[in-house]
């Protein structure tokens, strides 16, 4: 490198976990402490940001349903320009960075710009929700598969190309991300494809935050509850042969 060339920085794409700072990995906490710039999502704000060292620049680039948010191209451009200025950049993403988090777009932008990066995996809200409710995501005989699906496409509506046979499979634990608004329609489709409305369901809101709420119910009851409901907090819906009654975590 010539003396006048800027040293290339480095980008760590860091998983913030569901919100509880104790669910950050040690590596995530270290990257936050050493960062010079942190670009964070709305869902990756709050107490986890206390791990950021003094003097680091904090940039909110939140994308939250129904609220104004930074465009993906803008986030990509910020990542690239801060790294090209030779800085240690952390891109903090909620839950596990590789699950419904537009990670691929950011990796492509970094690769195209020739910027070195790493991905720091973490605790997805799906496993945090199951843990908070005291249930496993898989069960030895009754739920040999677990699937993570999205309840919203880019327009916020239920995706049109849903694999109904897969998501109405009664022998699977299904976790629906971003699915509160569309759940009544999803539940209708599930019933039409043979999944009983009495199938156990868990609604897990604000997992890992002080206002965490867990509701053990059924697919039908939850669909009724979600009809016309305002979505304010992040929430997950789990349904399938859930092991309610196994543990006592999160009761009350």
Residue 125 within binding range of ligand SAM, rule CB under 6 A: yes
Segment contacting ligand SAM by CB under 6 A, of 27-35, 137-145, 198-206, 243-251:
198-206
CB of 188 to ligand SAM, least distance (A): 20
Closest CA to 14 of 106, 92, 111: 92
Question: Reduced to 3 states, what is the DSSP secondary structure of residue 165?
Answer: helix
Segment near ligand SAM (CB under 6 A), from 48-56, 91-99, 163-171, 213-221?
91-99
With a CB cutoff of 8 Å and minimum separation 6, the contacts of 61 are: 39, 40, 41, 69, 70, 74, 75, 78
Q: Which of residues 37-66 bind ligand SAM (CB under 6 A)?
A: 43
Does the footprint of ligand SAM cover residue 19 (CB under 6 A)? yes
CB atoms within 10 A of CB 144: 11
Name the strand (E) or helix (H) holding 222: helix 219-226
Distance of CA 162 to the CA centre of its chain: 20
Alpha-carbon span 201 to 21, nearest angstrom:
27
**Is 3 known to be catalytic?**
no
101 binds ligand SAM (CB under 6 A): yes
Number of residue whose CB is nearest ligand SAM: 95
| Contact call for residues 209 and 20 (beta carbons, < 8 A) | yes
- CB of 234: closest distance to ligand SAM in angstroms? 4
Can you tell me which of 12, 76, 124, 199 binds ligand SAM, judged by CB under 6 A? 124
* CB of 183 vs ligand SAM, minimal distance in Å: 11
Q: Are 130 and 137 a contacting pair, CB within 8 Å? A: yes
Binding residue for ligand SAM, selected from 9, 29, 96, 200, defined by CB under 6 A: 96
Catalytic (active site) residue 20: no
Q: Which residues are catalytic?
A: 41, 63
């Amino acid at each position: 490198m010539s003396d006048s060339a800027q040293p290339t920085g480095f980008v760590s794409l860091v998983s913030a976990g569901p919100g509880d700072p104790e669910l950050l990995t040690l590596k995530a906490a270290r990257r936050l402490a050493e960062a010079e710039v942190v670009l964070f999502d709305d869902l990756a704000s709050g107490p986890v940001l206390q791990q950021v060292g003094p003097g680091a620049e904090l940039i909110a680039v939140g994308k939250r349903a129904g609220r104004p948010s930074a465009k993906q191209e803008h986030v990509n451009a910020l990542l690239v320009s801060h790294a090209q200025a030779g800085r240690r950049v952390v891109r903090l993403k909620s839950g596990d960075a590789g699950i419904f988090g537009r990670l691929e777009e950011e990796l492509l932008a970094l690769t195209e710009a020739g910027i070195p990066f790493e991905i720091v995996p973490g605790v997805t809200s799906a496993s945090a929700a199951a843990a908070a409710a005291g249930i496993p995501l898989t069960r030895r005989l009754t739920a040999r598969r677990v699937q993570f699906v999205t309840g919203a496409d880019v327009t916020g509506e239920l995706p049109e190309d849903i694999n109904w046979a897969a998501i109405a499979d009664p022998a699977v634990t299904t976790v629906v991300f971003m699915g509160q608004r569309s759940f009544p329609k999803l539940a209708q489709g599930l019933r039409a494809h043979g999944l009983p409305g009495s199938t156990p369901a868990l609604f897990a809101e604000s997992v890992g935050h002080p206002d965490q709420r867990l509701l053990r119910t059924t697919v039908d009851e939850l669909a009724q509850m979600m009809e016309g409901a305002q979505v304010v907090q992040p929430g997950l819906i789990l349904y399938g042969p859930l092991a309610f009654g196994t543990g006592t975590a999160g009761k009350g």
